[in-house]
Amino acid sequence: MNKKTKTIIWIVVAVLIVGVVAFLLTDILTAANALDFSEFRQKILDGEIVKVYANAFVWTGEAYDSAGNVIKSYTTNAPSIHYYADWAAFEAELTALNGGNPVPLAIEFADPNAGSALSNLFPLISIAIVALVFFLLMRQMTGGNAKAMSIGKTKAHVQSNLKVRFSDVAGAEEEKEELQEVVEFLKSPKKFAELGARIPAGVLLVGPPGTGKTLFAKAVAGEAGVPFFSVSGSDFVEMYVGVGASRVRDLFEVAKKNQPCIIFIDEIDAVGRRRGAGLGGGHDEREQTLNQILVQMDGFESNDGIIVMAATNRADILDPALLRPGRFDRQINVNLPDVKGREQILKVHARNKPIAPDVNFKTVARITAGFSGAELANLLNEAAILAARAGKKLIGNHELYEGINKVLMGPQKKSRVVTESDKRCTAYHEAGHAILACLCKHCDPVHEVTIIPRGNAAGYTMTRPETDDMDVSYNKLIDNICMTLGGRVAEELVIHDVTTGASSDLQKVSSLARRMVTQWGMSDKLGLVAYDSDQPVFMGMEYGHSERTYSQETASAIDNEVRRLISEAHERATKLLQENRSILDNMSRVLVERETIYNEEVAMLMKGASYTEVIAYMDGADDTRRENPFAFVTTPSSEHIVADDTENTTK
């Protein structure tokens, strides 16, 4: 049900309630000693009622005692307007009923317009109330609309003289080049118009959250020195009926008066999703808004000085109509930054921060594969806060390293009370992860193992990829599943019981295995078919709308394959940990004692070093490593650089 019908139903209900109440009220008041008209007439014939006061609605008959006092009064609904006009007809009727003898009766007609009787007013009052309610409702509705529209006007905020420049957006050189054209057009639209060049009406920025799409749009406006009208798709969603569309109209209207300029629609997927998707109904508002955007974009000539930019995380769910020529016909993919990009982003955000001279952003960039620009900015901010809290003048490696961990896993919870047995359990769990990460050759190297709680995790094993490999192989996935199950397996082997601590591990494992089967065609049984479109549910709009395109049998075959992958990995993990039980025991003992170990200790333990040897090494080791937690980051043999979306931190 959409908002329009809801409002209408609301009004109808209100009117009905008011009407019913008014009628009940009239009835109660007049029903006091109301008679049927025939009963009333009988009382006249009986001689009981000797006087009648009549108005258009009610007749009141009075009975008198011998002294001439009113002893009783009766009412009845006025029989018919006819008697008004022709009192004689009623007299004749009475005479006929009385066997030809005239009946003595005095009758007084009230002026039909005077309405002296109170009941006279009730119908009028109820009509008035209904009308009033209606009027108020209408006023409130239009009033609401008016307010929303004014919100619309202010919410699409305009920024002129934006200070953001391309130099503030680090990395992403190709994207900048593509956008440079847009900047030049905005700077001098005439030049392009004279040559008849068709400039894209719309530019769609597509990329994961935090990759700088909004920043890019602003930078284009800043570089071109034009006003920047921005509005977010999600603003339209919580709108009153019909306001989304009118807001779009307003936005374009204002923009047209400020050419050249940029209109930026952030999160366009909130309104721009494929029409007719979902459960039907309830989409009217969104569709009207979307239609209005399309209409407006068609409405201006390509050589008008307006460029519409929009940002989304996913272009695949957008309505195809949006992507047609003349609309968002240019797509720019903004990806997660590669090693070089990360280094540049770190440098951009370090511009106004005092950084210790021994900090090497190359190294920081290397172990932050998969971080978005926003996460890198956040990392530096966390580091700055830590340095300030520690009373330092410069941000050092220590703070940066802690910043990375904080962005990855949430803040350390050193003060959380942990019992000895919990500690032991966590130590075994993490040692299980770490050992399997070392034993499975496709896993990323282990940088740190800790049982200090952080975020929701009781401890964690930090592995970071050495390169930015984007494509993940079957073997790497299988090894990752095995490693992720390591924590649970260690608990099974040692504690002979399992804890709830592995729940996020299990979630990760299940989703990896399921995607291997349904998306990446990595199961022979199901073949090279993509079964799931992996569409997340947006804003609760598509509940119950599953995109399943396969049969029940296929569904259960998928389940079986997922289970097979996981149970094979579980067997392998169990076997590996059983074979290396002494390493598992040693590592967890060291962890219980020291809480955090780094790659060197892990390597020693894997080579068979005993508990005492490792503790002795840790006591003897010079502390430079702890001064610079990045010391372990080695230069990878091959520097091939692509974006990476694997996140290899395991609880």
Q: Give whichever of 170 and 271 is closer to ligand ADP, judged by the CB atom.
A: 170
Backbone torsion region of residue 133, taken as left when φ is above 0, otherwise alpha when ψ lies between -120 and 50, otherwise beta? alpha
State the Cα–Cα distance between residues 386 and 231, nearest whole angstrom.
35
Beta bridge partners of 158: 229
Binding to ligand ADP by residue 170, rule CB under 6 A? yes
Secondary structure of residue 568 in the 3-state scheme = helix
Q: Which is nearer to ligand ADP, 272 or 501 (CB)?
A: 272
Q: Which of 216, 139, 203 is nearest to 171 (CA)?
A: 216
Per the listing, tokens 């009727």 go with: 93
Number of residues that bind Mg ion (CB under 5 A): 1
Q: How far is the CB of 345 from ligand ADP (least distance, A)?
A: 4
- Judged by CB under 6 A, does residue 211 bind ligand ADP? yes
Q: Which of 175, 223, 285, 430 is flagged as catalytic?
A: 430
Tell which positions 470-529 bind Zn ion, by CB under 5 A: 487, 505
SS3 206: strand
Helix axes 37-45, 87-97, angle to 10 degrees: 70
The region of 213-221, 338-346, 361-369, 576-584 touching Mg ion under the rule CB under 5 A is 213-221
Checking phi first, is residue 126 left (phi over 0); if not, alpha (psi -120 to 50) or beta?
alpha
* 422: its two tokens: 């919990």
Using CB under 5 A, pick the residue from 30, 60, 75, 214 that binds Mg ion.
214
* Residue 491 CA: distances (Å) to CA of 66, 428, 628: 107, 7, 33
Least distance between ligand ADP and beta carbon 252 (Å): 22
Q: Are 339 and 369 in contact (CB under 8 A)?
A: yes
| Catalytic (active site) residue 430 | yes
In the complex with Zn ion, the residue whose CB is nearer, 497 or 619, is: 497
Query: What is the DSSP pairing of strand 49-54 with strand 106-109?
Result: parallel
Number of C-beta neighbours around residue 497 at 10 A: 8
Identify which range of 103-111, 235-243, 373-381, 544-552 contacts ligand ADP by CB under 6 A.
Answer: 373-381
Among 247, 447, 589, 651, binds Zn ion (CB under 5 A): 651
The region of 51-59, 165-173, 180-188, 503-511 touching ligand ADP under the rule CB under 6 A is 165-173
Closest alpha carbon to 215 in 176, 189, 177: 176
Interstrand relation of 261-266 and 228-232 (parallel, antiparallel or unpaired) = parallel
Please count the residues of this chain forming the interface with ligand ADP, following the rule CB under 6 A.
18
Strands 460-463 and 446-450: antiparallel
Q: Tell me: does residue 171 bind ligand ADP (CB under 6 A).
A: yes
- In the complex, least distance from residue 232 CB atom to Mg ion, rounded to whole angstroms: 8
Q: Of 19, 115, 210, 521, which one interacts with ligand ADP (CB under 6 A)? A: 210
* Part of the chain binding ligand ADP (CB under 6 A), chosen from 211-219, 359-367, 422-430, 499-507: 211-219
> For residues 348 and 590, which CB has a smaller minimum distance to ligand ADP in the complex?
348
Interface with Zn ion (CB under 5 A): 487, 505, 651
Interface with Mg ion (CB under 5 A): 214
Interface with ligand ADP (CB under 6 A): 169-172, 207, 209-215, 311, 345, 348, 373-374, 377
Please list the active-site residues: 430
